[in-house]
Amino acid sequence: MDYTKIRANLGGLFQDVLSLVLIAVLLGAGLLALGQFKGAMTANSAEANATGSNITAIGGIASTWMTVIVSVLMAGLVIYILVKAFTGNKK
C-alpha cells in the first residue's frame, strides 16, 4: 500500500482545518467585542438591544453550527482515510 499518496492527499486538508480555526477565532473575537460594546452602552437603548440581538444570533451559530461542521468534517476525514486504506493502489 502506498502511504505517500494518502499523506499527500491529507496535506490538502490542512488548509480546510486552518480555515475552520480562523472562522472560529473570528467568531469568538467578534462576540467578545460585541459584549464589550454592549457593556459600554446605556441599558435598554436601541443600540444595546440591537447589539444583544447580534450577540444572540452569532452565539447560536458559534455554539450550534460550528459543532455540526466540525463533526461532519471529522467524519468525512475518517471515511476518506478508511476508503483510501481499503481500496489500495488501483492502476
HSE (side-chain half, CA atoms, 13 Å) at 28: 7
Supply the pTM of this predicted model: 0.57
Q: What is the pLDDT of residue 4?
A: 65
For residue 72, give the C-alpha cell.
Answer: 461532519
Could you state, in order of their start, the residue ranges of all structural domains in the chain?
A: 3-87
C-alpha to C-alpha distance for 38 and 51, rounded to whole angstroms:
6
Whether the pLDDT of residue 15 is over 70: the answer is yes
How far is residue 86 from each of residues 9, 59, 81, 82, 89, measured CA to CA in Å?
15, 40, 9, 6, 9
